[in-house]
Amino acid sequence: MAAKMDIKDFHKINTTQVPLKNGKTAEAKVYSGYITLGSNNNVPLKGMIATWGASGSTLVVIVVYPDEDFVFKAGTKKVIINIDGKAEYEEIVKLLQHIE
């Protein structure tokens, strides 16, 4: 999947348990990598694959989100994109906790 999205060096860095609002617990595997936009604009990414059982089936949630600041260059212009990776992760966990 990561290769189809052209994410490079996508590798597992952690496995964690996420308590859900419905009392269940999701197992979340966290990945790290980067994608190149244009020519030389590397964007650091994190990804998560979370799974848990619900109503006789298994739910799978997959997310990819920016992880840290990066510089985007276009011609002679440079723009610093500020990303708070920890805040992004916490927002993903909040959203995940409300899926039923």
Mean residue pLDDT across the chain: 90
Segments making up each domain of the chain, as ranges: 7-97
Instruction: For residue range 66-90, list pLDDT tens digits in order.
Output: 999 988 887 888 899 999 999 999 9
Q: What is the pLDDT of residue 40?
A: 79
| Euclidean distance between CA atoms 58 and 93, whole angstroms | 18
Query: 93: helix, coil or strand?
Result: helix
What pLDDT is attached to residue 67? Answer: 94
Q: What is the pTM of this model?
A: 0.84
DSSP result, 18-52: EE-TTS-EEEEEEEEEEEEETTTEEEEEEEEEEEE
- List of the chain residues with pLDDT < 70: 1-2
| Residue carrying structure tokens 């990945």 | 31
